[in-house]
A and B are shown apart, each in its own frame.
Chain A
Amino acid sequence: MPLKKTPQVFSASIDTVTIGTGEKAVTLGGANVMPLYAFDAPIENKPALGLELSDAGYNAELPKLADFYAGAETLADQAKRAAALDGVDFVTITLNAADPTGENRSIEDCVAECKSVCETIDLPVAIQGCGNIEKDEQLFDALAEALQGENVLLLSAREENYKSIAAAAGLAYGQKLGAESAVDINLAKQLNVLITQLGVQPTSMVMNLGSAASGYGFEYVASTMDRVKSAALAQNDAMLQMPVVTPVADDAWSVKESIASEEDFPEWGPVEERGVQMEISTAAACLASGSDAVILRHPDSVATISALIAGLM
Chain B
Amino acid sequence: MGKFVVIGERIHCISPTIRKAMEEQDPEPILKRAKEQLDAGATYLDVNIGPAESNGEDLMKWAVQLLQQNFDNVPLSLDTANQKAIEAGISVYNRAKGKPIVNSADAGDRITNVDLAAANDAIVIALCSKAGVPADNDERMVYCQELLERGMEQGMDPEDMWFDPLFLVVKGMQDKQKDILEFIGQLRDMGFNSTGGLSNCSNGMPKEIRPIMDSAMVAMAMQMGLTSAIVNPNDQRLMETIKSCDVIKNETLYADSYLQI
Seen from chain A, the residues whose Cβ lies within 8 Å of a Cβ on chain B are 185-187, 189-190, 192-194, 197, 227-228, 231, 235, 237, 239-240
In the bound assembly, the distance between CA atoms of A185 and B253 in angstroms comes to: 8
Seen from chain B, the residues whose Cβ lies within 8 Å of a Cβ on chain A are 2-3, 251-257, 260-261
B residues within 8 A CB of A235? 2-3, 251-253
**Which are the 9 A-B pairs with shortest beta-carbon distances?**
A189-B255, A190-B255, A193-B257, A231-B253, A190-B256, A186-B254, A189-B253, A193-B255, A186-B255
- Asked whether, in the complex, the Cβ of B252 is within 8 Å of the Cβ of A237, the reply is yes
**Chain B min CB distance to A301 (Å):** 32
In the bound assembly, the distance between CA atoms of A156 and B219 in angstroms comes to: 39
Binding site of B, secondary structure by majority: helix, strand, loop or mixed? loop
Task: Name the CB-closest residue of A to B253.
Answer: A231
Total number of residue pairs linking A and B with CB closer than 8 Å: 34
Binding site of A, secondary structure by majority: helix, strand, loop or mixed? helix
Beyond the given A186-B255, A194-B257, A235-B3, please list 19 additional residue pairs across the A-B interface where CB-CB is below 8 A: A185-B253, A186-B256, A187-B255, A189-B253, A189-B254, A190-B255, A190-B256, A190-B257, A192-B255, A193-B255, A193-B257, A193-B260, A197-B260, A228-B253, A231-B252, A235-B2, A235-B252, A239-B261, A240-B253
Q: Can you list 7 residue pairs at the A/B interface with Cβ under 8 Å?
A: A186-B255, A189-B253, A193-B261, A197-B260, A235-B3, A235-B251, A239-B255
Task: Name the CB-closest residue of B to A191.
Answer: B255
- Asked whether, in the complex, the Cβ of B2 is within 8 Å of the Cβ of A197, the reply is no
In the bound assembly, the distance between CA atoms of A186 and B256 in angstroms comes to: 8
A residues within 8 A CB of B251? 235
B residues within 8 A CB of A227? 253
A residues within 8 A CB of B3? 235
A residues within 8 A CB of B254? 186, 189
In the bound assembly, the distance between CA atoms of A251 and B236 in angstroms comes to: 45
In the bound assembly, the distance between CA atoms of A161 and B2 in angstroms comes to: 34
In the bound assembly, the distance between CA atoms of A228 and B2 in angstroms comes to: 16
A residues within 8 A CB of B256? 186, 190
In the bound assembly, the distance between CA atoms of A186 and B252 in angstroms comes to: 11
Task: Name the CB-closest residue of A to B251.
Answer: A235
**Chain A min CB distance to B109 (Å):** 36
In the bound assembly, the distance between CA atoms of A251 and B161 in angstroms comes to: 52
In the bound assembly, the distance between CA atoms of A197 and B261 in angstroms comes to: 10
**Chain A min CB distance to B32 (Å):** 23
In the bound assembly, the distance between CA atoms of A240 and B255 in angstroms comes to: 11
B residues within 8 A CB of A186? 253-256
B residues within 8 A CB of A231? 252-253
- Asked whether, in the complex, the Cβ of B253 is within 8 Å of the Cβ of A197, the reply is no
A residues within 8 A CB of B255? 186-187, 189-190, 192-193, 239
In the bound assembly, the distance between CA atoms of A228 and B252 in angstroms comes to: 11
In the bound assembly, the distance between CA atoms of A285 and B237 in angstroms comes to: 43
Most-contacted residue by chain A among B3, B255, B260 (CB, 10 A): B255
**Chain A min CB distance to B208 (Å):** 31
Task: Name the CB-closest residue of A to B257.
Answer: A193
In the bound assembly, the distance between CA atoms of A54 and B109 in angstroms comes to: 76
